[in-house]
Structure 1
Amino acid sequence: MTMKAIKFISTTGLLIGAALSLAACGQNTKNAAKTAKKFPEQTPQKTAKQGGTLTYAIETDTPFKGIFDSQLSVDQVDSDVMQFGNEALFDTDNQYKITNKGPATFKLDKKAKTVTITVKKGVKWSDGKQVVAKDLEYPYEMTANKATNSLRYSDSLANIVGMKAYHDGKAKTISGITYPDGENGRTIVIHFLAMKPGMLQSGNDYFIETAAPYHHLKDVPFSKLVSSDQIRKDPLFFGPYKVSKVVRGQSVTWVPNKYYWRGKPKLNKIVAQVVSTKTASQAIKSHKFDIADVVNSDWQAVKNAKNTNFIAKIPLAYSYLGFKVGKWENGKNAMDKNSKMNNKSLRQAIAYAMNINQVEKRYTQGLTFRVPTLIPAQFGDYFDKNAKGFPYNLKKANQLLDQAGYKKEGKWRVQPNGKPLNIHLAAMSGSAVQEPIIQNYIQQWHKIGLHVSLTGGRLIEFNSFYDKLDHDDKNIDMFMAAWSLSTEPSPRGMYSETNPMNDSRFATKENNKLLNEIDSTKAFNHQYRVEAFHKWQQYMNDEAYIVPMTNSYAIQAVNNKIVNYSLKPAAANSVWYKVGYAK
């Protein structure tokens, strides 16, 4: 299923399920695409037999949180753990355009400013109850009610009539979501203040593409939802498998949902189990799992594994370097003009000093590649192919600092006001090569006279990292993180003024204006929207609040007896229904 703004665990070259590389790259996307031809996107597509247990590796160096609800969880690991049951409302084609082949149908009325969603008869929760209209509406309440502390509420959702009043506690219901056949019918109509060009694409942020079992959750106060047994231990899904057993933070066992609307899935059981990124390669070689992600820096060690098919895709994702320039205050990002990182020349110099090409050559064998902008090339002409990003240039980095008044006093530069400049970098722990990679970048910054050190003196565990970042820990000046992106390219869901996941806290009038242009009614004209995307990318690279770093091939090692497993976008919703062992 597609989701906007899932936070990645960042390790070197590990993508699906545990994440994005902080190692960088020297390849351009064209060369990267050439490398990709080595890998198919799917296993053989043939008749599968009934039965068997599939083991799936969840690669992470920390226990998963186990928040099994799409609106309350924001990290990729939970998303991977619940993928076997957590089906989205809509199927898509391979360009991520919504089709009516999935659990629900979708109809947009531009003139009436409405979207009508109808769930199909026979789409049932894993306890046998039909998914109803109230189940389609309830995720909006869960997201917008401040008591849940959901990070997914945004100004995109505030485009729904009555949503802001509900979020602000001024209304008990969301007036813009109506039930033509009642709450126990199968249809909701969503009324919008303005129609947006991205609404035909999955992952657009303007409406929610999941349902929540109201009958299962209604007695849990919003403030206790995220910690409730209904979310953590006994979640309900309408996908092909249901939760049988949860070993908190370590594994989830899935068995067939006998009420699944497409039919009977092939496998008797799926066990999703945590494995450390440090031991993932050994697990692949010893066939401990039927499906496991390849840590790209370990590719040479695993590429000759027997009885294994390797499949891959370039995901909609990137790693980035972000600079803290403010705080989250009163429901929005508030910039601090006196922040030590609120100097464009300093940010650009830090970006130019990163020897990304050398790191890629040393660690990733061409499987990680530099991205020059915050819009991935997979988005076609929305991607600005003229964007250069920040190629390695120590001379330019030094010039920028000199011209901006960052003078050297001994070994280190001081701020233009003469005060010492100590910069604290927050970065996540990860695979075996994570530490040397981060230390390499710190040494690069030392070369240009910047006193950079790790926040707390060490790499930070994933959950703790995002806790510190989201709560604006005063010991973080810059940070390395990553996004898993929506299939609708608008960046509003990550970088708007009112989005709490905009962890840099930058919020400018110009950014607001450019984001509004991308999502304006005028942008129903494709060329207008293309130009708006290009302007935003140029602005972001100039300001460098967020510096694009890398993307990587997401390679998976799959038992060669497994059939019908696919990474193609159109297969996302139905893949686990079809996956099984060859006859």
Structure 2
Amino acid sequence: MKRISLAFITIILFILIALSGCGKEEVASGGKTSKDVKQEITANLGGEPYTLDPAFASDTTSFWVISHLYQGLYTYDKDGKIVEGSANKVDISEDGKTYTFTIREGAKWSNGDPLTAKDFEYSWKRVLNPETAAYDPSQFYYIKGAEAYNTGKGSVEDVAIHAKDDKTLVVELKDPVKFFPKVILGEGFLPVNQKVVEANKDWAAEAEGIVTNGAYTVSEWKHNEQLTLQKSGSFWNADNVTMNTIHFKMVADTTTEYQMYKSGELDLVTGLPAEAVEQEKDNEEYVNFPSFSVYTYTFNVKEEPFTNAKIRRALSFAIDRKALTENILKGGEKPAYGYVANGVESPSGKDFREEAPEYYKFDPKKAKKLLEEGLKEEGWDKLPEFTLKYNSEGNHKKIAEALQEMFKQNLGLKVNIENQEWKTYIDTFKQKNFQLARMGWGGDFIDPYPVLNLYNTKSSSNFTNWSNPTFDELLAKSLVEQDEKKRFELLHEAETVLMEEMPILPILFSAQNILISKKVEGIRLDVLSKPDLRFAEKVSE
């Protein structure tokens, strides 16, 4: 069966949500038009954002806020199309290696400072500076000199990111990378104000310290309770931003979040509890679609008992992913029998996932055999107890408990589970303080490369302690391969290496189960990110 691309789904979803408001002025209850309705919306983050400094953000909770505060050289318009953002002109050299960006006239920071090319040079080199200890400097390694500087083998002067003047930024790549414009949509490429950052190391910790160049500013931040964004009057495109105020609650429990929506306290819900999905499926406010993301458990391959690949593989064969997605979650999630999610069209016209093997179908006998072989290799009589770690928010507890029971029933293992609230959990994960820990990974754009590259030895997002030269080489070859058919073959080979070594445990391919109030129109939904609220409109109180 031919699959519709996920990019197409994004556009269709936007049309469905916005269509009723097209070509007419909405009349709300009490005879008010939508122009008379207060333009504010309330959503739920699920917890305190880890950070609002783009250099250190790594999670969708932080990204959701940050994407409304800052604007990069490119951005998404209200239809989900990639367009020029803070740059209004981009010139690419014939060899595809040199990008020249022109910063648009009128672009400003929320404190009134002009936005310049020097802001981007400073911000990008700040991420690369090893003393910054930013989250993901490796995403800049396409740029000439970037890796050497970040790893202490080169100087900042050799990094090919240069502001020729206030309006012109020149960036030179090591190799021509066709998808580079999509790469720099990532949060790490967003600008920060040098004067603000250098004046206060905690500038991003409170509302009053944050200076932005995007659609919104932070007007209030009640930690662990609520974050409020206000439309920025200094934003160059403010006239086209329709939502004036965004309130983000920080409620971790999905059942409470759902009840708040039903009582009218929230205008949308992005994470329905599993038990509510069936109940809401016929509700016209319900939207379900696949995400380009994979829900995983990450092994720390240097922590016993997961130093042995056969033991890691045994756990994978012991998971009944079909039962988990269909009987427990029931929200459109799909069993993950590989790592790259559905939605990538290959040169053959098929989905990347369809062309790949199903690596780990449920097979308790094979699981037991691999466990026995792994125990013998390690000289162990039985597998020591281990702990699954997960964050408290969402349906993660249900999944952890299901895995705990499957490992017990199918392998006779004693497994502990431990949860933490999101901000604490992120630190635990980054510090690699786990044996087996939950995480979800989404691509920066729809292609196998960015998700597979998470496990490159050089990747700042590789928290497994796993390294494989063959895997790294396959990815490196795919990056410069201009023939798409050959490039996809290399990426399939890379995924096979990843699945055979099993440093991560793919569980399911995620789906978004969202409720959006009929009082709101124009929310842009995307398979890569949380809802874009900039162009939303409240049509009734």
User: Separation in 2 of the partners of 1:572 and 1:59?
Assistant: 10
- Asked if 2 retains the 8 angstrom alpha-carbon contact of 1:203 and 1:487, the reply is no
Q: Report whether the alignment pairs 1:372 with 2:337.
A: yes
For residue 182 of structure 2, the aligned residue among 193, 201, 207 is 201
Cα separation, partners in 2 of 1:423 and 1:197, compared to 1, 3 Å: farther
Q: 1:63 is aligned with what amino acid?
A: E
For residue 464 of structure 1, the aligned residue among 424, 435, 459 is 424
Aligned to 1:412: none
Q: Report whether the alignment pairs 1:44 with 2:29.
A: no
Aligned to 1:485: 443
Cα separation, partners in 2 of 1:58 and 1:368, compared to 1, 3 Å: same
**3-state SS in 2 of match to 1:536:** helix
User: Separation in 1 of the partners of 2:60 and 2:388?
Assistant: 19
CA deviation vs aligned residue, 1:547-582 (integer Å, no higher than 9, x gap): 322123212222212122221579999x54432123
Deviates more, 1:533-542 or 1:50-59: 50-59
For residue 543 of structure 1, the aligned residue among 488, 501, 506 is 501
Q: What's the offset of the Cα at 1:436?
A: 4.6
**3-state SS in 1 of match to 2:390:** coil
Aligned to 1:406: 375
Aligned to 2:269: 292
User: Separation in 2 of the partners of 1:465 and 1:170?
Assistant: 34
- Asked if 2 retains the 8 angstrom alpha-carbon contact of 1:291 and 1:556, the reply is yes
- Asked if 2 retains the 8 angstrom alpha-carbon contact of 1:95 and 1:569, the reply is no
Which structure's residues are more often helix, by fraction? 2
Q: What's the offset of the Cα at 1:354?
A: 0.7
**3-state SS in 2 of match to 1:123:** coil
For residue 199 of structure 2, the aligned residue among 219, 232, 236 is 219
- Asked if 1 retains the 8 angstrom alpha-carbon contact of 2:522 and 2:536, the reply is yes
- Asked if 1 retains the 8 angstrom alpha-carbon contact of 2:318 and 2:367, the reply is yes
Q: 2:499 is aligned with what amino acid?
A: N
Aligned to 1:63: 48
Aligned to 2:535: 578
For residue 528 of structure 1, the aligned residue among 465, 469, 486 is 486
For residue 465 of structure 2, the aligned residue among 505, 524, 536 is 505
User: Separation in 2 of the partners of 1:540 and 1:279?
Assistant: 38
Cα separation, partners in 2 of 1:112 and 1:560, compared to 1, 3 Å: closer
Cα separation, partners in 2 of 1:373 and 1:246, compared to 1, 3 Å: same
Cα separation, partners in 2 of 1:446 and 1:433, compared to 1, 3 Å: same
- Asked if 1 retains the 8 angstrom alpha-carbon contact of 2:80 and 2:524, the reply is no
User: Separation in 2 of the partners of 1:186 and 1:217?
Assistant: 21
User: Separation in 2 of the partners of 1:148 and 1:50?
Assistant: 47
Aligned to 1:388: 358
User: Separation in 1 of the partners of 2:77 and 2:406?
Assistant: 44
**3-state SS in 1 of match to 2:249:** strand
Which stretches in structure 2 are left out of the alignment for 5+ residues? 26-33
Q: 1:291 is aligned with what amino acid?
A: L
The number of residues matched between the two structures is 513
User: Separation in 2 of the partners of 1:132 and 1:529?
Assistant: 37
CA deviation vs aligned residue, 1:298-332 (integer Å, no higher than 9, x gap): 21344566xx72334322211112221138xxxxx
Task: Using CA pairs under 8 Å that are at least 6 residues apart, name the structure with larger relative contact order, 1 or 2.
Answer: 1
Aligned to 1:447: 409
Q: What's the offset of the Cα at 1:74?
A: 1.1
- Asked if 2 retains the 8 angstrom alpha-carbon contact of 1:92 and 1:570, the reply is no
User: Separation in 2 of the partners of 1:165 and 1:494?
Assistant: 19
Give matches, 1:165-244, under 5 Å: 165-167=148-150, 168=152, 171-173=155-157, 175-180=159-164, 182=165, 185-202=166-183, 209-220=189-200, 224=201, 227-229=202-204, 233-244=208-219
Cα separation, partners in 2 of 1:192 and 1:501, compared to 1, 3 Å: same
Cα separation, partners in 2 of 1:84 and 1:492, compared to 1, 3 Å: same
**3-state SS in 1 of match to 2:67:** coil
Which stretches in structure 1 are left out of the alignment for 5+ residues? 1-27, 328-338, 408-414
Q: Report whether the alignment pairs 1:355 with 2:312.
A: no
Deviates more, 1:506-515 or 1:378-387: 378-387
- Asked if 1 retains the 8 angstrom alpha-carbon contact of 2:79 and 2:524, the reply is no
**3-state SS in 2 of match to 1:422:** coil
User: Separation in 1 of the partners of 2:206 and 2:130?
Assistant: 18
TM-score normalized with structure 2 length = 0.84
User: Separation in 1 of the partners of 2:184 and 2:389?
Assistant: 28
Q: Report whether the alignment pairs 1:129 with 2:113.
A: yes
User: Separation in 1 of the partners of 2:44 and 2:156?
Assistant: 40
Deviates more, 1:135-144 or 1:163-172: 163-172
**3-state SS in 2 of match to 1:278:** helix
Q: 1:392 is aligned with what amino acid?
A: F
Give matches, 1:416-431, under 5 Å: 416-418=378-380, 420-430=382-392
Superposition misfits of 4+ residues, deviation over 6 angstroms: 28-33, 93-97, 569-573
Cα separation, partners in 2 of 1:229 and 1:554, compared to 1, 3 Å: closer
- Asked if 1 retains the 8 angstrom alpha-carbon contact of 2:145 and 2:154, the reply is no
Cα separation, partners in 2 of 1:448 and 1:562, compared to 1, 3 Å: closer
Deviates more, 1:272-281 or 1:45-54: 45-54
**3-state SS in 1 of match to 2:361:** coil
Q: What's the offset of the Cα at 1:170?
A: 5.4
- Asked if 1 retains the 8 angstrom alpha-carbon contact of 2:87 and 2:101, the reply is no
Q: What's the offset of the Cα at 1:98?
A: 4.6
**3-state SS in 2 of match to 1:531:** helix
User: Separation in 2 of the partners of 1:96 and 1:145?
Assistant: 32
Aligned to 2:31: none
Percent of aligned positions that are identical: 16
Q: What's the offset of the Cα at 1:470?
A: 2.1
- Asked if 2 retains the 8 angstrom alpha-carbon contact of 1:429 and 1:459, the reply is yes
**3-state SS in 1 of match to 2:68:** coil
